[in-house]
Amino acid sequence: MTVIDSEKVCVFIPFAGGSGLSFEALRRAVGAYMPVVGVTYKSRYQKDVTRAPDTVEAMANEVIALIDRLAVREVILFGYSLGAIVAYEVARRQHEFGPRLSKLVVAACRAPRIFSCAQVTLDGSEEEFIQTLSKFGAVPDFILQHSAAKHRMLPSLIKDFQAAALYRYVAGEPVEVPLTVLGGSDDPFAPVEDVMAWEEHSHNFAGVKLFEGNHFFLTRHVTAITKIITKPVGSIARLPVSSRYLDISART
C-alpha cells in the first residue's frame, strides 16, 4: 500500500502520450497544497507497448487500482484531454475504490457524449499521424520538435489515440461528484461548444472556465488552474462563461 501523509491527494491523469511526469509546473503548484500522484500507464515509453492499456476502460482500470492503493480519505481527479474521459469513467465507478472522490476537474476535452478524435489520421503513415497532431495541437510541441522525444513517445502516443478512437459513451446517470470543466478559447481539438456540453454529465456541475489559448492552454495559466483544483468544494461557485462563448453555443 502506498502511504501518503495527507487526508487528501490529487490524481493527475495525462493526455494521450503523456505520463505521471507531465505538466511538471502544475504538479509542483498543486503539490504546495496537497500530495499529487501522476498516472503512468504500464509499458509507457517501452519499445514493446503490447501490454499497455488499449481501451479507455483499461486505462480507467489502472487508475482505479492506483487510487484504491492510496492510504487517503479523499481524492481529487484532474484529467487532461484523453485523461478527462478516463477521469470521467473513473468517477462513474467510484463505488469500486475506497477513498472518497470529492472533486472532478476535466480540461481540454469534448464532453463524453460527443467525444471524438476523428481529426487524427490513424490509418495512414506515422508521418501523416504526426502531421494531423501538429495541425490540431493535440500533443505538446516539444514531442514533435525533438526527434529523441518523438521516437520515445510515438508508440505510446499511437496506442493512446487508438484507444481514444474506440471509445463510445454509454448513457447513464450523471455523476454526483462536483465537476469543473476547463477549456481553451482557441482549441481546435476541443471546441468551446463541445467543452460546454459537459454540463449534462454531472448532477453537481460547478461550471466551465475558459482560458485564452489552444489545446495546451494549461501551460500559460498554471496559477489560475491551481486555484481551481485546490479550492475547497464547499466554496465552489458556479463559474461564469463569457457571453461571447454563450453566443457561440447558441448558434450550434
What one-letter code names the amino acid at 200?
Answer: E
| 5 has pLDDT over 60 | no
Give the pLDDT confidence score for residue 238 in this predicted structure.
52
* Whole-number pLDDT of residue 234: 61
Task: Place 67 in a pLDDT band, splitting at 50, 70 and 90.
Answer: very high
Of 33, 26, 101, which is closest to residue 63 (Cα–Cα)? 101
> How far apart are alpha carbons 101 and 46 in whole angstroms?
31
Alpha carbon distance 250, 252 (integer Å): 6
The domain segmentation of the chain, as residue ranges, is 8-251
Helical pair 82-92 and 147-166, crossing angle rounded to 10 deg: 40
Quote the mean pLDDT of the chain. Answer: 86
Q: Which three cell numbers stand for residue 103?
A: 472533486
Rounded CA-CA distance 185/210 in Å is 6
Please state which of the ranges 79-88, 125-134, 167-176 shows the lowest mean pLDDT.
125-134
Write out the H or E segment, with its range, that includes residue 38.
strand 36-38
| Homologous superfamily of 8-251 | Alpha/Beta hydrolase fold, catalytic domain (3.40.50.1820)
Indicate the pLDDT class of residue 152, thresholds 50, 70 and 90.
confident
Say how far apart CA 111 and CA 193 lie, in whole Å: 9
**131 confidence band (pLDDT: 50, 70, 90):** confident
> What would the grid cell of residue 105 be?
476537474
Q: What is the pLDDT of residues 6-56, one digit of tens each?
A: 689 999 999 998 899 999 999 999 999 999 999 999 988 777 778 889 999
Burial (Cβ within 10 Å: 0-12, 13-18, ≥19) of residue 66: buried
Cell 476523428 maps to which residue?
118
Q: Is residue 93 within 8 Å of 60, Cβ to Cβ?
A: yes
The model's pTM: 0.88
| Cα–Cα distance for residue pair 108/188, rounded to 1 Å | 10
**Calpha distance 87→39 (Å, rounded):** 11
For residue range 158-216, what is the model confidence (pLDDT) as tens digits?
A: 899 999 999 999 999 999 999 999 999 999 889 999 999 999 999 999 999 999 999 99
Give the per-residue pLDDT at 163.
93
DSSP annotation string for 151-196 = HHHHHHHHHHHHHHHH------PPB-S-EEEEEETT-SSS-HHHHH
